[in-house]
C-alpha cells in the first residue's frame, strides 16, 4: 500500500515547523472550516506563528491546497500501478484495488477527506475532481471486465456498482477513527465481505 509522503516535507522554515507540519495543520483547518472560509490568519493562529512566518514554508494558501490534493490523489492513483492492480483475474484485481484504496484512505484520512469535500469552485479543484473521476472510471472498467467473465453478477450496471462501492468507501472519512479498535485491515475485510457477497450473489 502506498504510504503518506507529503512530497515537499523536507523544506525547512521557521523554527518549530517544517512544510509537512504546516501542511498537516492546514488540512485540519480546511476540513474544519472549509477551504474557502479558511484564511492564512486562521492557519497562523492554529500553528501559533505569524502569517508572515507561514510564507517561509509555502507561497500561498492555494499551494497548500495543491500539496494536500496531490497527497490524496497521488496515493489513490499509485494503487492502480501496483502489481495486484495490473495482473490477474478482473475480480481479483478489483478486490485488490478496493482494499488498497481503503488503506490509502485510512493512512491519508485528512487529505482524502479534503479531496472528497471539494466543490469545484477553482480550476485546481476541478482538475482534482477530474482526476478522481478518471480513477472511478478505471474501477468501472474492472467491474465491467469481471461481469464479462462471469465472476460478478451482470444484472446491475457497472457504473452503478462503482458508485455504490465508493459511496460506502468514501463514507469512511466521516466516521472512522484511526488508532481505534477497528484496524484498517479489518475495516477493509468488512467492506469487501459485505460488497462482494452481494456482487457475487
Is the pLDDT score of 162 beyond 90? yes
* CB contact set of 98 (below 8 Å; sequence gap of 6+): 139, 165, 169, 188, 191, 192, 195
Q: Give the pLDDT confidence of 45-90 residue by residue, as tens digits.
A: 999 998 888 988 899 999 999 999 999 999 999 999 999 999 999 9
* SS3 of residue 18 by DSSP: strand
**Mean pLDDT lowest among 11-20, 129-138, 140-149:** 11-20
Query: 18 phi and psi, to 5 degrees?
Result: -125, 180
Please state, rounded to an integer, the average pLDDT across all residues of the chain: 90
Q: At what angle do helices 19-33 and 61-79 cross, to 10 degrees?
A: 90
Binned at pLDDT 50, 70 and 90, residue 9 comes out as: very low
| Domain ranges for the chain | 71-199
The four Cα atoms 174, 108, 57, 67 give a dihedral, to 10 degrees, of -90
The four Cα atoms 61, 110, 3, 104 give a dihedral, to 10 degrees, of -130
Select from 3.40.50.800, 1.10.357.10, 3.40.630.30, 1.10.3720.10 the CATH code of 71-199. 1.10.357.10
Query: CB burial class (10 A; 0-12, 13-18, 19+) of residue 21?
Result: middle
Distance CA(118)–CA(126), nearest Å, equals 8
Amino acid at each position: 500500500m502506498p504510504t503518506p509522503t507529503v512530497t515537499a516535507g523536507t523544506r525547512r522554515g521557521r523554527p518549530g515547523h517544517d512544510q509537512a507540519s504546516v501542511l498537516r495543520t492546514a488540512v485540519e483547518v480546511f476540513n474544519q472550516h472549509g477551504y474557502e472560509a479558511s484564511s492564512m490568519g486562521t492557519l497562523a493562529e492554529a500553528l501559533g506563528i505569524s502569517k508572515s512566518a507561514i510564507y517561509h514554508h509555502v507561497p500561498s494558501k492555494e499551494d497548500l491546497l495543491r500539496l494536500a490534493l496531490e497527497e490524496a490523489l497521488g496515493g489513490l492513483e499509485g494503487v492502480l500501478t501496483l502489481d495486484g492492480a495490473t495482473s490477474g483475474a478482473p475480480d481479483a484485481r478489483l478486490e485488490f484495488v478496493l482494499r488498497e484504496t481503503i488503506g490509502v484512505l485510512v493512512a491519508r484520512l485528512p487529505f482524502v477527506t479534503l479531496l472528497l469535500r471539494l466543490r469545484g469552485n477553482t480550476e485546481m479543484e476541478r482538475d482534482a475532481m477530474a482526476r478522481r473521476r478518471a480513477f472511478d472510471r478505471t474501477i468501472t472498467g474492472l467491474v465491467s471486465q469481471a461481469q464479462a467473465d462471469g465472476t460478478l453478477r451482470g444484472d446491475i450496471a457497472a457504473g452503478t456498482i462503482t458508485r455504490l462501492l465508493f459511496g460506502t468507501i468514501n463514507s469512511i472519512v466521516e466516521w472512522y477513527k484511526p488508532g481505534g479498535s477497528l484496524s484498517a485491515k479489518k475495516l477493509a475485510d468488512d467492506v469487501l465481505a459485505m460488497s462482494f457477497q452481494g456482487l457475487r450473489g
